[in-house]
Chain A
Amino acid sequence: MITILTCLVSCNAWSQQGNLSGVRRSAFDLGFSFMSVRDEALNRIIHKGPGLHVDWYLELPGRGGISIIELGVGSGFLKSDFEEEISSFRFSGSAGFTYLWPLCINDQSPHFYLGGKVNARTAIEYFDNWDESHFYWTTAYTTGAGFRIEYTIRGNSMIRIEADIPLFSMVSRPPDRFLYTQSSPALKDILKDVNYDLSLLLPREYREFDMRVKYAVKNRKRIMPEIFWRLHYMSIHKDGSARMKYLLQSIGVEFDI
C-alpha cells in the first residue's frame, strides 16, 4: 500500500507518453511456469515442478474505467525431492472480472489504475498411485483489490504491472484428516468435491497475491507481443482443513488477438 501511495504522489513527476489501456483489446498469455506446493492434503513435503498456463483477456474501456474479463487454465507436474517420478498432477482453472478506475487522468506516464476484482479459481491435484489415487483441491471465490501501473519508456515500449490481492474469500479445501479413498473420476463427483464445505476465510487465513510484470513494444497503435513474468502466491490455513502453500513463477508471451 505504501508503494502504491508513493507512486501516486510521484505520479506527475514522471512525464512520458499516453497510455494503452484506453483501447479495446483481446489477448492471450502463454506462460511456462515453475511451481512449488506444500499441500498437507498429500503430505508436508514440498512438491515442485514445471507447468504451463494459458490465459485469455478481454479488455473493454468504458467511460469511467476499464472492464477486464479473464479466463485461465493451467497445469503442473509435481514431485518431491524424495521421489524419482511425478507424484501429482495439478490442473487449474480461473475466471475473473476486474474493473479499474484511472487514478491519473492526464496523459502523462505512468498511469495508475485501481479497482476491484472478483475471481473464481479452482485447482485440482491428482495423486496418481497404484492404489487409492485421489483428487484433492483448492477452490476459492474471492473479491479484492486490483491495480495496474503502466509506464512508457523510450517512447515506444512500455512496462505494465498488474496485481490483485483478494480480501474476502470463500474457500473449499479437503478436511485435515480426510479419509481418502479411490476417487471417482466422474465429473459430477469431482465438481461436488471441489465445492465441499465452502466457508468464508479471514485475510489471515487466506493469503493470495498475483502479479504480472509485462513488457510491450508499441507499433503505432498496435501492441506487439508482450513478454511477462508472473508471480503467484497462495497460502491457506483454514481450521479443520489441510493447510496449503503455493508459489508459482512463470515467464511467457502475451499475444493480441
Chain B
Amino acid sequence: MIYSKKNKVMKNLSIYTGIFLILLIHSSCLEEVSLNTPYQGYTPQETGDSWIISTPEAENMDSSIITRVYRDLYNDARYPTIRSLLIVRNGRLVAESYCKSANDLYSLHNIKSATKSITSILTGILLDMGELDSLESRLSDYMPGYFDDNPKKREITLKHVLTMETGLHFDDNVHTREMLYNRGSSLKYVLEKKLVFDPGSGWYYGDGNPQLVSGLIWELTGKSESEFAEEYLFAPLSITDYHWEITHDGLTLGSIGLWLTPRDMAKIGLLMARRGAWEGSQVVSEAWVEESTRRQSSFSNYGYYWYPIEDKAFYAEGHGGQLIWVYPDYDLVIVITSDPYTKSWKLSEPYTEIFAKILSSLQDLLLTGQIDESIDLTVNPGPSNSVQLDHHILNNYENENCITLHTGFPLSNIKRSNNYNRKDPGYRILLLGW
C-alpha cells in the first residue's frame, strides 16, 4: 500500500516535472515574428549611379509575376535570411528590393565563394593581357619557390587550378581557417597539401586553388589580386566601394572574402551577360566569358569558378545564398544576397523557385531553356502541336503559382500557354522544351 502510494507520488512528480520542463523550454524561446520589413515594392531608387532604371513592362516582363516574387520575398517564411533581390533586363535595372534594411542598397555585402567567379574574370583578363601563355601553363614555371619536391605537384596547370582538379587535399572545413591564421606564405600552405589524386584526374572543391590564382597574379603583375581587380575590372565598371580580405602574407583571398554592394554584383553579372563588353570596351574577352562559364571539368558540372546551367546560363554562388545568375540569351541578370553567416545549406535551396518565376515573367522568352526548376511535369504534344494541360495533375499543385513543364520536344512551333488562368490571374506555366 505504502509502496503503491509512493509510486503514485513519484509518477505524479515525474509528470509534473516533465510538464514544467516542457513549459520551461517552450516559454524560453523568443517569438518568431516576421523577420522582414513590411513590403516596400520593388521600384529601383534613383541614386545617381550609372544604372539606368526601367520597369518590368518596358523590358517585356510581366509585372504581375514580378510583384508576386517580391511579395513572397517579404512574406514567405522559406526565405528568412534573404536580404536583397535585383533584376537586370536588357542592361537596365528593372526591379530591386532590400527586404531587411533599406541601407543594404549602399552596404557592402560578403559574397563568400562567389568571390571565386571574380577571380575567374581576373584570370581571363590576365590571359588577355598576354601575361600567361595558356591555361596549360604549369604553375611551377611561374612560382617555383612555393613547390615542394613532389614532381606531380609541379605538373599542376592553371586549368587544373581553375577547375578544382589539382588533387591538393585542401579541406575547407579545416584548411581555410588554418590558411587565414597561417603567418607564413599562404601559397606554400596550399601547395604543401598532399595530392589525393594526380592533377587532372579528379575534382576536389577547395578554397586553396583560387589562392594559387591570387598568387599567380601577384607573381606576374607585382600587384595583389585586389589591386589588379581595381585597375582592370572594378574601375571600368565604376565599382569604387569594395572590401577584400587578405592573408597574413599580403595576398588577396582568391576564394572568399570579397565584399560588394548588390548593385555592383549586378554589374559583374551584366558584364558577363554582355560577354565581357562594358560601355564600348572589352573588359574581358568574349572567348574567356564563353569558355569560363561552360562546363570545363570532366568530373563535375563546373566551369572556371562559375557554375554552368546546360551551357545556356551560369551563375556565381556563395554560401548562404549569395548569387549572381546570368542568362545571356535573355539578357537577364538576377542577384540575390542573403545573411552570409549560417551553417545551413538548405536556406538557399528554395531560391531556384524565385529564378523560375522570374524566368516565367519574360514575355519574349524563347522557349528553348533547359532549366530544371520548380515542379516539373512531363507532357505530350496534343492536337495542333499544343500542350494539353491535365487539370487532374495540375490540381495536385493547387498552391503553386509556377509550374515548369518539360515537354521533351522542341517548342518552336508550340504556342506558349502564358495565358493559362486557373483561379488566379498570376498563375503561370513555364514551358521548357528540349
Q: Tell me the nearest residue of chain B to A136, going by C-beta.
A: B341
* Structural contact, A43 and B339, CB atoms closer than 8 A: yes
- B-facing residues in A108-156 (Cβ within 8 Å): 127, 129-134
Q: Is the CB of B80 within 8 A of A82?
A: yes
Q: Mark B320-360, 1 if CB is under 8 A from A, else 0.
A: 00000000000000000001111110110000000000000
Instruction: Write the A69-102 contact mask toward B (1 if CB under 8 angstroms, else 0).
Output: 0000000000110111101000000000000000
Contact A46 B32 (CB under 8 A): yes
Contacts A80-B344, A131-B176, A180-B341 given; does A34 touch B81 at CB 8 Å? no
Asked if A182 CB lies within 8 Å of chain B CBs, one says: yes
Q: A38-B30, A45-B80 are known contacts. Are A131 and B103 too (CB-CB below 8 A)? A: no
List CB contacts (< 8 Å) of B15-49 with chain A: 24-25, 27-30, 32, 35
Instruction: Decide: A83 and B257 in contact? CB cutoff 8 A.
Output: no
A24 in contact (CB, < 8 A):
no
**Do B341 and A42 have beta carbons less than 8 Å apart?**
yes
How far, in Å, is A197 (CB) from chain B's closest CB? Answer: 17
Tell me whether A80 and B342 are in contact (CB under 8 A). yes
Whether A46 lies near B30 (C-beta < 8 A) is yes
C-alpha spacing A44/B207, complex, angstroms: 27
Please count the residue pairs between chain A and chain B whose beta carbons lie under 8 angstroms apart in the complex: 104
Compute how far the CA of A173 lies from the CA of B61 in the bound complex, rounded to whole angstroms. 43
Decide yes or no whether A35 CB sits under 8 A from chain B: yes
CA distance A36 to B30 in the complex (A): 6
| Interface residue ranges of A173-213 to B (CB < 8 Å) | 176-177, 179-182, 185
Does B413 count as interface, using CB distance less than 8 angstroms?
no
CB of A34 within 8 A of CB of B32, answer no
| Residues in chain B near residue A82, CB distance under 8 A | 80, 342, 344, 346-347
Is B107's CB within 8 Å of the partner chain A?
A: yes
Residues B29 and A85 in contact, CB atoms below 8 Å apart: no
Q: A177-B103, A182-B245 are in contact. Are A48 and B342 (CB under 8 A)?
A: no
Bound CA span A164–B37, Å: 33
Quick one: which of B115-154 are within 8 Å of A by CB? none
Are A130's CB and B177's CB within 8 A? yes
Query: Do A43 and B81 touch (CB < 8 A)?
Result: yes
Judging by beta carbons under 8 Å apart, are A44 and B35 in contact?
Answer: yes
> Within 8 Å CB of A218, what residues of B?
none
Contact B257–A181 (Cβ < 8 Å):
yes
Does A249 contact B243, Cβ atoms closer than 8 Å? no
Q: Are A177 and B108 in contact (CB under 8 A)?
A: yes
A40-61 to B contact mask, C-beta < 8 Å, 1/0 = 0011111010000000000000
* B257 contacts across to A, CB distance below 8 A: 131-132, 181
Contact of B256 among A46, A84, A131 (CB under 8 A): A131
Beyond A35-B28, A182-B245, whether A85 also contacts B80 by CB under 8 A is: no
Closest-by-CB residue of A relative to B346 is A82
Most chain B CB within 10 A, of A131, A229, A246, is at A131
On chain B, the residues within 8 Å of A85 by CB distance are 343
Is A251 interfacial (CB-CB < 8 Å)? yes
Q: How far is the CB of B74 from chain A (nearest CB, A)?
A: 13
> Which residues of chain B have C-beta atoms less than 8 A from A25's C-beta?
none
Cα(A43)–Cα(B79), bound, Å: 12
Q: Which residues on the A side are within 8 Å of B181 (C-beta)?
A: 182, 185
Q: How large is the interface on B (under 10, 10 to 19, 20 to 34, 35 or more residues)?
A: 35 or more
**8 A-B pairs with C-beta separation under 8 A:** A36-B28, A43-B342, A84-B343, A85-B343, A131-B255, A179-B108, A229-B24, A247-B30
Shortest A182–chain B CB gap in Å is 4
Which chain A residue has the least Cβ–Cβ distance from B259?
Answer: A179
Q: Using Cβ atoms and an 8 Å threshold, which residues of chain A touch B176?
A: 130-131
Judged by a CB distance under 8 angstroms, whether B110 is at the interface is yes
Q: Are A83 and B110 in contact (CB under 8 A)?
A: no
- Closest A residue to B171 using CB positions: A130
For B172, give the chain A residue with the smallest CB separation.
A130
A181 engages B342 (CB within 8 Å): no
Given contacts A127-B341, A131-B177, 10 further A-B contacts (CB under 8 A): A38-B30, A42-B342, A43-B341, A83-B343, A131-B176, A132-B110, A134-B341, A179-B243, A180-B341, A247-B28
Q: Mark B173-198, 1 if CB is under 8 A from A, else 0.
A: 11011001100000000000000000
CB contacts under 8 Å to A, within B185-219, are 207
Question: Do the beta carbons of A45 and B342 come within 8 Å of each other?
Answer: yes
| Selected contact of B81 from candidates A44, A79, A132, A246, CB within 8 Å | A44
Please tell me if the beta carbons of B177 and A48 are within 8 angstroms of each other in the complex.
no
| B223 contacts the other chain (CB 8 A) | no
Complex Cα distance, B341 from A229, in Å, reads 33
Shortest CB-to-CB span from B246 to chain A, Å, is 9
B100 close to A (CB within 8 Å): yes
Give the complex CA separation of A82 and B108 in angstroms. 25
